[in-house]
Amino acid sequence: MIVYFTGTGNSRYCAQMLASHLGDELMDSFHFIRDGVAAKLLSDRPWVFVCPTYAWRVPPIFADFIRSGGFSGSREAYFVMTCGDETGNAAAFNQVLCKEKGLLYKGTLPVVMPENYIALYDAPKQAEALKIVDAAGLSLESGIACIREDRNFPVPKVGAVDRLKSGVINAAFYRFIVKANKFTVSDACVGCGKCVESCVLNNIELCGGKPVWGGRCTHCMACICTCPASAIEYGKASVGKPRYQCPEYKGIV
């Protein structure tokens, strides 16, 4: 079973492509996480966990979803991590997570997709983004071949800097950077509630027809990128930047 988490659609696209090519089931973790319900899933095919990379690791909310869930049937687990650039030493943490769950770790595949972190970086414009998505197909195909043939994903080369990024820098990132207090909304807001619906942590409420952010945020960028009126900003960092949403995978069966 292909189980995914996404903020802006990259990981959904990859999960859909994997499910389509492997003829396997697809499961979105969104409602389990949002509703605080532990998943109880059964599959006789290997588990393939697909998610974005946040600070060179699996997002904590997705790691917690896996940690708290029941995954019975197959004991094999692959990880596919979409990223704007690279996944650092994420694989080591995925291996530990598998050990905790009694799952046989089959590897971590980084798949470069368009950058979505507009609170810190720029997202590519649409034409450039589509090129990156196209190119990601090759990495995904190599991953699909490994899963079909029951091979492990190739082991990534990891150095001291990668260990630092996924270790202390990851911890500092969550302590100092990941906060919702810089989100603002402009008069362009039409009160449609799409930002509220998009938040996996249920961290947004409409008050007087405008969104208000609470204290639970994982910086997934769903709210700011989903707003049809581009009425949301993250301080000054997002001003003038293209919002990013990955289209659905068209080849899905």
Ligand X SMILES: Cc1cc2nc3c(=O)[nH]c(=O)nc-3n(C[C@H](O)[C@H](O)[C@H](O)COP(=O)(O)O)c2cc1C
Q: What is the largest CA-CA distance in the chain?
A: 55
In the complex with ligand X, which residue's Cβ is closer, 43 or 87? 87
Interatomic CA distance for residues 158 and 173, integer angstroms: 20
Give the shortest CB-241-to-ligand SF4 separation in angstroms.
Answer: 15
> Residue 71 or residue 213: which is nearer to ligand SF4 going by CB?
213
- Pick the closer one to ligand X by CB: 69 or 124: 124
Q: Tell which positions 220-249 bind ligand X, by CB under 6 A.
A: 220-221, 246
CA angle 170–129–24, rounded 5-degree value: 75
Q: Does residue 73 sit in helix, strand or coil? A: strand
In the complex, minimum distance from the CB of residue 187 to ligand X, in angstroms, rounded to a whole number? 26
Q: Per rule CB under 6 A, is residue 29 in the interface with ligand X?
A: no
Helix or strand holding residue 22 (H, E): helix 10-22
- The reply to whether 116 sits near ligand X by the rule CB under 6 A is yes
CB 184 within 8 A of CB 230: no
Q: How far apart are CA 215 and CA 188, in angstroms?
A: 24
Q: How far apart are CA 223 and CA 236, in angstroms?
A: 16
What phi, psi does 172 have (nearest 5°)?
-65, -35
Q: Which of 71, 231, 233, 244 is in the footprint of ligand SF4 by CB under 6 A? A: 231
- E strands, 44-103, are 47-52, 70-73, 76-83
Comparison of 76 and 115: residue with beta carbon closer to ligand X: 115
Out of 27, 130, 169, 229, point to the residue binding ligand SF4 (CB under 6 A). Answer: 229
232 binds ligand SF4 (CB under 6 A): yes
* Torsion angles phi and psi, residue 114, rounded to 5: -60, 140
Q: Which residue has the tokens 């499910």?
A: 19
Q: Say which entry of ligand SF4, ligand X, none residue 199 contacts (CB below 5 to 8 A, set by partner kind).
A: ligand SF4
4 exposed, middle or buried (CB, 10 Å; 0-12, 13-18, 19+)?
Answer: buried
Of the candidate residues 58, 113, 185, 224, the single one contacting ligand X (CB under 6 A): 113
Tell me which stretch binds ligand SF4 (CB under 6 A): 29-37, 66-74, 102-110, 184-192.
Answer: 184-192
Q: Does the protein bind ligand X through residue 71 (CB under 6 A)?
A: no
Please state the closest distance from residue 220 (CB atom) to ligand SF4, in A.
Answer: 4
Binding string, 46-65, against ligand X, x = CB under 6 A?
------xxxxx---------
Which residues contact ligand X by CB under 6 A? 6-11, 52-56, 82-86, 113-117, 219-221, 246
